[in-house]
Amino acid sequence: MIRLFYFLSIILLVSSCKTDTKSNDNNDVTAHPELSEDSKIFLGNRLFSEKTCITCHDVDRKKVGPSVIEIMTIYKAKNGDIVDFLRGKSKPIVDTTASQVAVMQANIDGFLKNITDVELDAIATYMLHVDKLNTK
């Protein structure tokens, strides 16, 4: 497990070095080494804590924001795209109350600007599979 952790950190380091922070016109995912689905889930789970998502989003219980299960139920039903939402490219579809939207929008305009495509993809993959993980 420790080895996997180091392995993932190295991949992350290498890929964030390659990614020019501001050049969004080159959003070619093939530029990154492809992680297996299990690695993405593992990494996404870790990032969900490290990037503080967990402080507002519990897996199955409403906190400041809706639970991950609730978010994913709606995203699956409406065919939503988590990555697009977190990049500010699509509108909220889970909780559209203005005050709640503003809380999440502050993250999108703030620290999420610095997150890499690989990290975002991992977080989205983790969220997509959260109902099948043994998180209790």
Alpha-carbon radius of gyration of the chain? 15
Smallest distance, ligand HEC to C-beta of residue 66, A: 6
Q: Does 43 bind ligand HEC (CB under 6 A)?
A: no
Query: What are the strands, taking DSSP E only, across 1-136?
Result: none
Smallest distance, ligand HEC to C-beta of residue 20, A: 21
Using CB under 6 A, pick the residue from 40, 51, 125, 128 that binds ligand HEC: 51
Using CB under 6 A, pick the residue from 41, 71, 128, 130 that binds ligand HEC: 71
CB of 117 closer than 8 Å to CB of 29:
yes
Q: Does 31 bind ligand HEC (CB under 6 A)?
A: no
Smaller CB distance to ligand HEC: residue 8 or 80? 80
CB of 57 closer than 8 Å to CB of 130:
no
Integer CA distances (angstroms), 1 to 5, 42, 113, in order: 6, 10, 30
Smallest distance, ligand HEC to C-beta of residue 3, A: 26
Smallest distance, ligand HEC to C-beta of residue 45, A: 12
- Write the CB contacts of 37 (distance below 8 Å, at least 6 apart in sequence): 125, 129
CB of 44 closer than 8 Å to CB of 123:
yes
Give the binding site for ligand HEC (CB under 6 A): 51-53, 55-57, 64-66, 71, 82, 85-86, 92-95, 100-101, 103-104, 107, 112, 123
